Structure 1
Amino acid sequence: MLWWGKEMNEWQVLHASDLDFLLENSSSPYDYSGDNNESEYCCGTPPCSQDFTFDRTFLPVLYSLLFILGLLGNGAVAAVLLSQKAALSSTDTFLLHLAVADMLLVLTLPLWAVDAAVQWVFGSGLCKVAGALFNINFYAGALLLACISFDRYLSIVHATQLYRRRPQARVTLTCVTVWGLCLLFALPDFIFLAANHDERLSATHCQYSIQQVGHTARALQLVAGFLLPLLVMAYCYARILAVLLLSRGQRRLRAIRVVVVVVVAFTICWTPYHLVVLVDTLMNMGALARNCSQENHVDVAKSITSGLGYMHCCLNPLLYAFVGVKFRERMWQLLIRLGCPEQREHVRQLSRRDSSWSETTEASYSGL
């Protein structure tokens, strides 16, 4: 699939020029000379032949579907939030940035679909931009969810409104910091990603030109893009749920249910992928035993779990629509303004039905 999930390992980057060098250099880790002048592999096994038939059929279809759904769904979320006449709350602002990050991420999927189906035909320049854009928005999605969790934690557990004074300036500063960190994390993509021709596969792919950089990037994605945000979210919502359960306020529990469901979805979607990538990295580094059968299974697992991870970009809008009552009301209001007057009565019924807890919702989880 993409460079992110199928970067070159030490066997794959063995080109003809490298082979000539290794044959002449006895200090190489690969010893191809034997007592009987027969080729031998130091590791006991030749490079595994890889079959990318699954990727060529599965990934283009999946990426195309996610591209359409993600663009439409997150575009609707952004339109609903921007349609509000009043200034956006801190949570609404974070959700708007989250929708933008998801949209920008899915915009790169058609490029990776072509890469999986045929090869990378867009050159090294677009490879760097697309790879960096993908990673920037991957990090942004996780960090923004962590920001929302921390904001709710301060508001409910400590009754502190971090963004009460000069809210717009503080929210803007937080978002700028998040995007700045994401750009910093993506610097290796701008520098080391390139369109590399793999002689063994007879195809060009967008991959890291240095294997060690790929390992470092994977470790950074695991820690900064998954584990740390997940730990922040888990701690914040564990404390929030403890407070709400002690207060026995079912209305307050409903007020944060959207964010809790979004965090759970993030965990379910991305955990399998990062576990598979961790196993693959340990195999490439020699920490785990490897054979051709295991490598092929890991390759298929990376393709499936990465698709599950990218599906998270399409889930958030659906979760807002099915769980967030306030979001549904705002969506109907937007449709009315766009020319759907038959929905006016439906909006009034929603407003009457949910008026008993809308104030709690606004106080505990504004906007949803």
Structure 2
Amino acid sequence: MNTTSATTSGNETIVDSTASTTMGALILGLVFLLGLPGNIFVMWSILARARKQNITTLLILNLAIADGSLMALTPFFIIYLVLKTWMFGNVMCKVLFYLCLLNMYASIYLITIMSLYRVLAIRWPHKVRIVTGQKTVMRALGVMWVLVMVASIPAMIYRKKTEVSTRLVCDSFHDTKKDVMIQYMLELVIGFCIPYSIIVISYIGILRRIQQTRFGRRVRSEKLILAIVVTFCVFWLPYHVINMVQVRDTCCALLSKPSSRNYKVAGSTVAAAFAFISSCANPVLYFFAGKSYIRREGMEFMARLFERTGLDSATRKSRQNSQNSRDKENEANSVMLKEKEPDSTTDSSSNQVKPVKNGK
């Protein structure tokens, strides 16, 4: 069977460019040094130090597990880029890239679930606990993990180790142009377009609701989650742009038109390495969001941040209503006391006059 490669036709491979492989290796090295300990610290903070678990902390825990798992795989890719040859065999070629795509899908859909939960908590605070109980969320997470495992299978089917231009490369190989379209369109639509459409719609609803409320405390947790969403989008966008270029190149090949293959091959290594940054960026965001807790809480500052972030709007609203009720009650009591003051003055003056009359 003669297989053709989406990225290696014309004897071009993703490891041919010294500049791109060097930059990719440096990015992955920095990502590994920051991301692995950072995500382990997030997991430790939630599992060992958080006094109570809530839906937001559960979602952040799953996100840290997905990101931390990806960080543990980066040494294989660093070695690949430094040596410019794949030395881990065909099975590891398929498994490692399958796990990478699995992390991409898991991260984006965890962020999507987080955004949906926040919009429910903001717009319908009294109903959110009925719709999003902890058991319901656990089932949703289980279904999500199964779906992303299935959606990542094409990355393993179309990936193989082969020898191109005297180098061993681990890359995508397709039998037909149709297979190229299937793989990259799936990654683009399922991994970016659909989830980000849901996220954008959710945050439009969140921001509108926040504009209607007078209480600024609600904005803090939304800013943190919005920062996670924007960060993931920024770092994964170049990867999906490369996918769009790949789809366009395939269409051009079908129509016998010139394509921009050199652009795709040169940018794919850096774009893929750049996408890894999103998995180490979240712990950095948590650190800056929770730095006000460091002096007071010490090493437990992140656990307190997640507890505060996980405080849903229903709880906040009930607390606000309780505070308003107490304020109204105190105000009513003060009014009653003021109304009673003249009566008490009259009574005291009459009590002073009576003894005088009796004396007469």
Structure 1 length normalisation: TM-score? 0.73
- Evaluate the alpha carbon distance shift between residue 160 and residue 180 of structure 1 in structure 2; reply closer, same or farther with a 3 A threshold: farther
Report what 2:311 is aligned to.
Answer: 362
Report what 1:54 is aligned to.
Answer: 19
Q: Gapped runs of 5+ residues in structure 2?
A: 316-360
Tell me if 1:207 matches 2:185.
no
Equivalent position SS for 1:150 = helix
Q: Deviations over 1:57-80 (max 9, x none)?
A: 222222122122110111111111
Report what 2:5 is aligned to.
Answer: 8
- Evaluate the alpha carbon distance shift between residue 327 and residue 274 of structure 1 in structure 2; reply closer, same or farther with a 3 A threshold: farther
Q: How far has the Cα of 1:85 moved from its partner?
A: 5.0
Report what 1:178 is aligned to.
Answer: 144
Report what 2:324 is aligned to.
Answer: none
Contact 2:123/2:209, CA 8 A, preserved across alignment: yes
Report what 1:3 is aligned to.
Answer: none
Instruction: Measure, in 2, the Cα distance between the counterparts of 1:365 and 1:72.
Output: 34
Q: Gapped runs of 5+ residues in structure 1?
A: 1-6, 13-46, 337-346
Equivalent position SS for 1:121 = coil
Instruction: State how 1:36-115 maps to structure 2 within 5 Å.
Output: 47=10, 51-115=16-80
Contact 2:6/2:172, CA 8 A, preserved across alignment: no
What amino acid is the match of 1:129?
V
Q: Deviations over 1:11-44 (max 9, x none)?
A: 62xxxxxxxxxxxxxxxxxxxxxxxxxxxxxxxx
Instruction: State how 1:327-346 maps to structure 2 within 5 Å.
Output: 332-334=298-300
Instruction: Measure, in 2, the Cα distance between the counterparts of 1:279 and 1:163.
Output: 44
What amino acid is the match of 1:106?
M
Q: How far has the Cα of 1:91 moved from its partner?
A: 0.9
Percent identity, please. Answer: 25
Report what 1:318 is aligned to.
Answer: 284
Instruction: Measure, in 2, the Cα distance between the counterparts of 1:359 and 1:62.
Output: 33
Contact 1:163/1:171, CA 8 A, preserved across alignment: no
Instruction: Measure, in 1, the Cα distance between the counterparts of 2:293 and 2:197.
Output: 27
Q: Which has the higher contact order (CA 8 A, sep 6+)?
A: 2
Tell me if 1:234 matches 2:200.
yes
98, 103, 108: which is aligned to 1:137? 103
What amino acid is the match of 1:207?
D
Q: Deviations over 1:241-280 (max 9, x none)?
A: 1011111322111231100111111222222321232013
What amino acid is the match of 1:362?
L
Equivalent position SS for 1:216 = helix
Equivalent position SS for 2:6 = coil
197, 200, 205: which is aligned to 2:163? 197
Equivalent position SS for 1:290 = coil
Instruction: Measure, in 1, the Cα distance between the counterparts of 2:19 and 2:314.
Output: 43
Instruction: Measure, in 2, the Cα distance between the counterparts of 1:330 and 1:70.
Output: 25
- Evaluate the alpha carbon distance shift between residue 181 and residue 311 of structure 1 in structure 2; reply closer, same or farther with a 3 A threshold: same
What amino acid is the match of 1:290?
P
Contact 1:196/1:209, CA 8 A, preserved across alignment: no
What amino acid is the match of 1:256?
E
Q: How far has the Cα of 1:305 moved from its partner?
A: 2.8
- Evaluate the alpha carbon distance shift between residue 266 and residue 329 of structure 1 in structure 2; reply closer, same or farther with a 3 A threshold: farther
Contact 1:74/1:317, CA 8 A, preserved across alignment: yes
Equivalent position SS for 1:119 = coil
Report what 1:30 is aligned to.
Answer: none
- Evaluate the alpha carbon distance shift between residue 290 and residue 328 of structure 1 in structure 2; reply closer, same or farther with a 3 A threshold: farther
Equivalent position SS for 2:5 = coil
- Evaluate the alpha carbon distance shift between residue 181 and residue 160 of structure 1 in structure 2; reply closer, same or farther with a 3 A threshold: farther
Instruction: Measure, in 1, the Cα distance between the counterparts of 2:297 and 2:188.
Output: 35
Instruction: Measure, in 1, the Cα distance between the counterparts of 2:148 and 2:126.
Output: 27
Alignment length, in residue pairs?
A: 304
- Evaluate the alpha carbon distance shift between residue 151 and residue 272 of structure 1 in structure 2; reply closer, same or farther with a 3 A threshold: same
Structure 2 length normalisation: TM-score? 0.75
Equivalent position SS for 2:312 = helix
Instruction: Measure, in 1, the Cα distance between the counterparts of 2:314 and 2:236.
Output: 25
Q: How far has the Cα of 1:82 moved from its partner?
A: 1.0
